[in-house]
Amino acid sequence: MQTFCAAMLAIAASAGDLECARQDRASIPTAEWGYIFYLSTSGVPEEMQAELAGVVAFVAASASREVLLERQLPQRVENSNLWRIDLRRLQWDWRDWRRVLKRYPYAPGNSYPLVIRADWLVVELTDAFSSDSYYRLLYGGRNIPKTRDQFLRFWKVDNDKTFRFGLIEGASGVSVARTRWIENRPTANRGYAWGTRDSSVIENRTDPLENLGGGFQHEAEEWIVGIPKWSETGARGALQVYFLANQKGERQERAPVSIVEDHTRFRGLAEIRNAGSCMQCHATGINEPTTNQLRALISSGVDLYAEQKLQQALERFHFSDIDKEIRRNREDFADAMRVCNGWAPEENARRFRKCVDRYDQDLTLEQAARELSLPPLELRLALAYASARNVQLGARLSALAHGRPIPRSVWEGRFHDAAAVVQLWKSKQ
């Protein structure tokens, strides 16, 4: 039986991408090479490459603490499918970046790749349940918030109850119980902050309407903070960061589907995952609430009973002009989006979802060949050659040669085996 070492070959990028990256880096002082990396769009069909480039620009900027947008956006390497990033400009610590790259399934051996697939990075930075890469790059490995209070303090969100306002939403499209608490808090950095509280069942102890001051029990929280972003053109906007928490305010990477549901189905799942579900759901930034339940009750003739001072506080919270704040926040989000990739927020969310779904879908022989940088016929011949020589391909790779797609998760684990098969076949030609 013929055997081989999978590490003998790993195609992290096409030979053209790698050579182009090396040539571009050669124009940069050697002392800076440790901060320079390249994102490749070669792994998707040509007609989809511009779309992927726009999506990765949005995702990279959303995972950066840097304020000036132009510093965060990947820079196109002329006449190539490569986009250069500088870790310093993104405020990504090189040690955290190396931790991220350790998870890169297409890396050659144990080395740190110079060229990284853009579609892989999009998924890696938007599914915090699969890895901590989103938190690690955004906050730095030593500053990842473990609780809602740490998250709010990090982004300078004011905790003064005097300035909070919000509503009790009815007919919510996210909350399973259809009722959720929504509140706005001021920030010290000219951004914005919104939080929600949800429960699986609304009863006396979990009903916001029975606890208008907010002192009710709940099971899950979602927080969205708009981080100010500026452009060299003078435009000012905001991109959003997200945080999910349980009833104790402790961070969780996914919210149970028994409490809230992601109707956009990030990665095909109903549970809400940070931050991809939030990016797909909050297409325009901050979503408009369906109804103000308390306002609706009062309009129907129900009196709001409370001591006068308390009543004033409750009315200030529940009856503030929330629509005006949402419009402003959405305008800021749209302004930042235009600088990132030139798209309207709804278009960005649609394209983001397409890129994630495309990466996650099963690979055909044609797509697998593209990711190995060779024509489909050559991959079929390479697999057939290895099979004829009793190389243990496994069921999935063998089936790929017969036109049966291979799941992405399996492909990531068998990529190096497929690459080694290709090298074996080419060495005999």
95-148 pLDDT tens trace: 999 999 999 999 877 678 999 999 999 999 999 999 999 999 999 999 999 999
Which residues on neighbouring strands pair with residue 167, listed in sequence order?
A: 182
Burial 226-238 (b: 16+ CB within 10 A, else e): bbbbbbeeeebbb
CA distance 66 to 229: 8
Neighbours of 212 (CB within 10 A): 19
- CA dist., res. 247 & res. 183, Å (int): 16
Report whether pLDDT(315) > 60.
yes
Report the largest interatomic distance among the alpha carbons of the chain, rounded to a whole angstrom: 89
pLDDT band at 301 (very low <50, low <70, confident <90, very high): low
38 has which bridge partners?
Answer: 84, 115
Measured over the CA atoms of residue 103, residue 106, residue 108 and residue 109, the dihedral's sign is: positive
Position 11 pLDDT exceeds 60: no
By mean pLDDT, which of 7-11, 67-71, 154-158, 181-185 is the weakest? 7-11
pTM of the model: 0.93
- The DSSP code for 274 is T
Q: How far apart are CA 378 and CA 68, in angstroms?
A: 46
Whole-angstrom distance, CA of residue 263 vs CA of residue 266: 8
* Mean of pLDDT over the chain: 92
State the Cα angle at 333 between 327 and 338, rounded to 5°. Answer: 125
Confidence of residue 305 (pLDDT cuts 50, 70, 90): low
Show the DSSP H helices in 188-344 as ranges: 276-281, 293-299, 308-318, 322-341
Question: Residue 188, Cβ neighbours under 10 Å: how many?
Answer: 9
Q: Distance (Å, rounded) from C-alpha 17 to C-alpha 77?
A: 10
Mean pLDDT to the nearest integer, 28-53: 97
Q: Is the pLDDT of residue 7 over 70?
A: no
Please classify residue 325 by burial: count the beta carbons closer than 10 Å to its beta carbon, then call 0-12 exposed, 13-18 middle and 19+ buried.
Answer: middle
Contact 113, 101 (CB under 8 A): yes
pLDDT at position 365, please? 97
Q: Is 390 a residue whose pLDDT tops 90? A: no
Query: What is the rounded average pLDDT of the residues 359-364?
Result: 98
pLDDT band (50, 70, 90) for residue 216 = very high
Residue 147 gets which letter from DSSP? B
pLDDT of residue 151: 98
Tell me: the pLDDT tens digits for 266-293?
999 999 999 999 999 999 999 999 999 9
Q: Is the dihedral of CA 274, 275, 277, 282 positive or negative?
A: positive
Residue 249's beta-bridge partner residues? none
| Six token digits for residue 19 | 């050579």
The answer to which of 37-46, 305-314, 340-349 has the lowest mean pLDDT is 305-314
Residue 122 near residue 355 (C-beta atoms within 8 A): yes
Q: Enumerate residues 6+ apart whose C-beta is below 8 A from 218.
A: 181, 197, 198, 199, 206, 247
